[in-house]
Chain A
Amino acid sequence: MNVGNWLALGGAAIVALAAVAALRRRITATASGRRFFRHPTAVPGLFVLAFFVTIAIAAPVVAPYPPYFQIDITNPDLPPSTQFLLGTDPYSRDVWSRLVYGARVSLGIGAVAMLVAATIGTAVGAVAGYFRRWVDTALMRLVDVGLAMPRIFVLLMAVALWEHIALWVLVLLIGLTGWFGTSRLVRAEVLSLRERDFVVAARAAGAGSVLLEAGLSFLGLGVPPPAPSWGNMIADGWHKMTVAWWASTFPGLAISLVVMAFNALGDALRDALDPRRAGEEGGEGGGAA
């Protein structure tokens, strides 16, 4: 890590804080926005996400090395130091640099999955709920089938059978297998015009997909090497966990942190949009979605 990297890291933290503050100014205008920010986990959750998004975008300045660069393969597994913030891995690559670039992949997967869940999931759910009758039946049976096949199974089959799968296809596949739950909830919402749980479902699709990528990579079928993702960083470092714990501990923590942020935001959002909770506080219903 040189001075420039440290400055960039500090800058990223400030940018993330500023983004949270700006958002807060913008949306506390509404009652549900105020409720959202009153939730104790909202601000930390937002900050963590904003921070990881910032360093992912600014990766080339925050990371001292290219993510695939092997510094000295005869001398790998160096512990964390000021030069190598989070140590080096068994291939003598800088763990911090890979973590930063890996944020692009892992957050990207989360974002795409949420997007797909929010679009396809909502569309299918709304169509089913709106048209009812046979459209509803057909779509919901489809969703039932989708829910009956464990995602990891479907993805493993796709990746293992079609041998070299491009990264974007994998990301898309993870997204495409994650919308079934959302559509069911949206349908329920259209029917009842009351529940706001689809926020929760979209959040679950995002967080779940980050975890899923990690699982796939752990089984050796995720993002292909040498591209860094937090999942394959854990897998790369795991067999040397006893001598170099840092190589797979930090990406594991990063995943946990980001998923936790997703979950915390989801909780805050759900509570903020919940009309029952709203009634209690005397605000207007769930105006914003």
Chain B
Amino acid sequence: MPTPRTRLSDRRIATLALAALAWLTACERPVGCTGDYCGTLVIATAGEPDILLPVVSEFSVTRDVADRLFLKLADVGPSGNTSGDEDFQPQLAERWEWDAPTTLVFHLDPRARWQDGQPVTAADVAFTYDAYTDTLVNSPFRPSLRQIAAVTTRDSLTVVFRFRQRYPEMFYDAVYHLRILPAHLLRELPRTQWHSAPFGRAPVGDGPYRFVAWKAGESIEIAADSTFFRGRPHIRRVIWRFTPDQTVAVTQLIAGDADAVEVLVSPDNVQRACAEPQLACYPYKGAAYGYVAFNLAAQGDTSKPHPLFGDRDLRRALVMATDRERLLHNVFGDLAKVPPGPMPQLWWIWDPEIRGLPDDSGQAARLLTRSGWIDSDGDGIRDKDGHPLSFRLLVPTTSAVRRTYARLLQEQFRTAGVDVQIDEVDFSVFTERARTGRFDALIAVWNSDPTPSSGFTQTWTRGGFGRSNYGRYDNPDVDRLVDQAVVSAGSRDQARRAWRAAIETLNRDAPGIMLFATSNVAAFHKRFADVTIRPDSWLAQLATWRVPADRLTDRDRVEH
């Protein structure tokens, strides 16, 4: 019983179908991009940037995207060496020299242009430094710039950095964190509004790639700037696809919906991905370490010690009660090591000889009993003065690794007579409670800078109060030794000895349980050649990656 109306819509559907067919056939014909500059790289990742304005975001995925759009003055070279300036590679600055031991002069490359056509000038650099150190912007990188006294312009292409003192990693401090921003586009924006600036959702940069699109919850796309003054990148498009978790990211990689995953994380994922004939796996040193941080201060009142973790013996007992090797084996298999202190494998101070407390549940039990923690009421949980040995462990729901660790720890502690309740909260809530000290213990993971000088200081010294020293660990001996290692050590060996002494002192105080230091494995589709990974920032060498002309697939050729 066809009525005229349905007939009309039938015709409309037919037209639509034809159009769709035409598009499909047009797309599948192997025309489009050919040659050496066609590659398309689709990265599957479990995190999405909050804002593409590097000064206000510390997400590593933000860094991955923003570092393609915005140049630093210079960057760490393939060696990863952060001392002196010999191993650094020029980016926005074509060269630099030292006018005095604490005066560093950069000469910008005159070819550099913002993607709206304006030249990049020394004023942009001064503006950027001002923004990074402005308390209203309150950049997470501000503490890393504390040794820089001033940044001034000498002429439109020359900029001068003045330091407070001389130390081995001063050049690193000057260039590693600052991503130069366009003053002409951001000057009018009130500093309090930088955290939600519209610019951060449609950035204009000066780097090898320009921003194309950001579909919230879906993907970000950037495209190579063929006129980039340091040479056109071989990979023409880079697309990040956001997935709910790491497993889905690996699944997309295996299914061919993505080309690369930064870290496979679990042995299952490694097994799944590396067994695929079309994928290649690239192991590299891990920049991350994870630990249980005890809150040494009382919740809500940092002037008082925590009722449990204020006690050094109790902390030491809990550290010894943990069988870190078995935990590690369950979560990571071979993809991590038990660290000898709070450090990732990437740091040059990594040394298995550094002494720490043993994993020894017998000794832990004796220590607990000796300090009066006995199960007097037979409920399986130790108690003292009528208080059970019970605490809450805070973990973010977004991290499968930490959730797993929490559950395994909960059971290990239960067998030691310690009751643990797990609080799983969203990452933003986790960070907020961590920073305001509203927790008993938490599992923290730091994806660290390539050098301990700033990361360690911010996490384990007094200078990190209100920053990443969530547990408010404070030992003047450690502070002094760290200061000696960072600033006054004359040689690398002296610095190494000072670091070692600092970490052994810290280990004896047991401010946390050092759980793991990752070894990473990235996976790529095999058509990508010349893939090299700098462990502190896996996409840093993207400019050298390419898809050879004879390996191009439809994905690389597709035109828009």
Contact = CB atoms under 8 A, between A and B. Distances in A.
In the complex they form, whether A and B have CB atoms below 8 Å apart is answered with yes
Interface stretch (A9-17, A135-143, A235-243): A235-243
Contact of B392 (A68, A90, A164, A240): A164
B272 A242 contact: yes
B524 to A, nearest CB: 20
A70 B408 CA distance: 8
A239 B247 CA distance: 6
B327 interface: yes
A239 B421 contact: no
Nearest to B408: A73
Nearest to A69: B411
B245 A239 contact: yes
Given A91-B411, A226-B410, 15 more contacts: A73-B408, A74-B330, A76-B330, A91-B407, A92-B330, A160-B426, A163-B423, A163-B425, A220-B397, A225-B422, A239-B245, A239-B247, A242-B247, A242-B268, A243-B268
14 contacts: A74-B329, A90-B330, A90-B404, A92-B330, A163-B425, A164-B421, A164-B423, A224-B422, A225-B406, A225-B410, A226-B407, A242-B247, A243-B268, A243-B272
A91 B406 CA distance: 11
A108 to B, nearest CB: 21
B326 interface: yes
Interface of B: 245, 247, 251, 268, 271-272, 326-327, 329-330, 392, 397, 400, 404, 406-408, 410-411, 414, 421-426
Interface in A30-54: none
Nearest to A164: B423
Contacts of A243: 268, 271-272
Given A91-B408, A91-B411, A163-B423, A239 B329 contact: no
Contacts of A91: 330, 404, 407-408, 411
Taking chain B's interface residues, is the majority helix, strand, or loop, or is none over half, making it mixed? helix
Contact of A239 (B397, B400, B411, B425): B400
Interface string A60-84: 0000000011100110100000000
B414 to A, nearest CB: 7
Closest 6 CB pairs of A and B: A73-B330, A74-B329, A70-B411, A220-B397, A239-B247, A243-B268
Contacts of A76: 330
A243 B269 CA distance: 10
B326 A224 contact: no
Nearest to A91: B407
A73 B268 contact: no
Nearest to A236: B407
Nearest to B268: A243
B272 to A, nearest CB: 6
Contacts of B414: 68
A240 B251 CA distance: 12
A148 to B, nearest CB: 26
A91 B426 CA distance: 22
Given A91-B411, A226-B411, A239-B400, A73 B392 contact: no
Nearest to A240: B268
Contacts of B268: 240, 242-243
B324 to A, nearest CB: 12
Nearest to A73: B330
A160 B423 CA distance: 11
B442 to A, nearest CB: 13
Interface string A152-163: 000000001001
Contacts of A239: 245, 247, 400
A58 B316 CA distance: 41
Contacts of A240: 268
A90 B403 CA distance: 12
B514 to A, nearest CB: 18
Interface string A217-245: 00010001110000000000001101100
B407 to A, nearest CB: 6
A164 B268 CA distance: 32
A160 B329 CA distance: 32
Contacts of B330: 73-74, 76, 90-92
Contacts of A220: 397, 424
Contacts of B326: 73-74
Contact of A225 (B271, B327, B407): B407
Nearest to A238: B247
Interface string A269-286: 000000000000000000
Nearest to A92: B330
A38 B246 CA distance: 51
Contacts of B425: 163
Nearest to B254: A242
A70 B415 CA distance: 10
Contacts of A74: 326, 329-330
A239 B245 CA distance: 9
A225 B272 CA distance: 28
Contacts of B426: 160
A224 B392 CA distance: 12
